[in-house]
Structure 1
Amino acid sequence: MIINAVLGVALVVSLITDIRSRKILNIVTFPAILFGLIYYSIADGFSGFLFSGAGFLVGFALLLLPYLLGGMGAGDVKLMAAIGALTGISFVLYSFVYTALIGGAISIFLIMKKRGVFNSIKSFFFSVIYLRSSLGSLIFPKEKQNSIAFPYGVAIVFGTVCAFIWGGF
């Protein structure tokens, strides 16, 4: 199906550019969004436009808050919106869940790699036991560390591939 081909091209190009330059290009996401809206409008009329438009809005809304909080770039939001425009609401929701799980696993791996496995486990149990209360923070101040960042487009691409392979839960 042509939608799957457009989605596949958008995902592959976004994966490559996000790894290389930490950017997901508008020249990839905007045409994918437009293609989804136009394709479904031609194929199913106004109901097709609503299908694609609703998928776009849900995909956009899912990552809008993390973007506004500074946790990710606008390209990630637009890529998820493009996935929604091309596949609809239910697929983009499944894709988002897989993306969150994969992104969380990548984050845990990177944290453990940077801080060391033992320090990560010790820090986790310390946080759980003492709940990092105000008194605990005064006695054991948090270390100032650089934040750990990674191209989240990687998680989006692999989450979408998982949704495509395994579908819903």
Structure 2
Amino acid sequence: MTIAILFIILAISFFTDLKNRKIFNVVTFPAILLGFIINTATLGWEGFLFSLFGFLMGFGLLVIPYVLGGMAAGDVKLLMAIGALQGTGFVFGSFIYITIIGGMIAFVILLKQKELINTLKRIFFSAQLRSLDSLNKNEYHHAFPYGVAIVLGTVCYTGVNVF
């Protein structure tokens, strides 16, 4: 049952993040709550802890990029919902796929916009850590709706676990 809920929130989040660049609380909060309720109802105290630790793992994996301004709160809440529904192992496994897919998307965007070399120079030769808020508008155009990477990475991880 939690896998069905997971795919519903992933589908909704994919389209809203592409269209509006937002992942809505009306999607993530009920998913988090349902994860706790379903896992607690089926597994008791162990189910509650399963959801709690998955929820916290989802938060922990994206809180630093969020604080640095590299991603929006909706992205963090989506990963927290994934964790509450599917637990720590699933959210961590998904995260590996998410980072790979996110990197590939960023690489393609930079390549397409002919900014790959400039970006690599900035990364390797910059001595200061900057958030996206400190970038000028010409640099900011590289950002993309990271919820897309979260959805695709989670779906890929789910497929790997099924087969």
**Structure-to-structure mapping, 1:29-108, within 5 angstroms:** 29-108=28-107
Does residue 1:163 correspond to 2:157, yes or no? yes
Cα displacement (A) at 1:145:
3.6
SS in 2 for 1:167: helix
TM-score by length of 2: 0.86
Partner of 1:132: 125
Return the letter of the residue paired with 1:60: F
Is the contact between residue 103 and residue 152 of structure 1 (CA under 8 Å) also seen in structure 2? yes
Show the counterpart of 1:114: 113
TM-score scaled by structure 1?
0.83
**Paired AA for residue 101 in structure 1:** I
Q: Which residue of 2 aligns with 1:23?
A: 22
* 1:70 alignment partner, SS class: coil
> Which ranges of structure 2 fall in alignment gaps of 5 or more residues?
128-136
The answer to whether the 8 Å contact 1:94/1:167 transfers is no
Structure 1: segments with no counterpart, 5+ residues: 135-143
The Cα of 1:40 is off from its aligned counterpart by 0.8
Whether 1:153 and 2:152 are equivalent positions in the alignment is no
Please tell me the root mean square deviation across aligned C-alpha atoms, in Å: 2.3
User: How many residues of Structure 1 are paired with residues of Structure 2 in the alignment?
Assistant: 153
Instruction: State percent identity of aligned pairs.
Output: 50
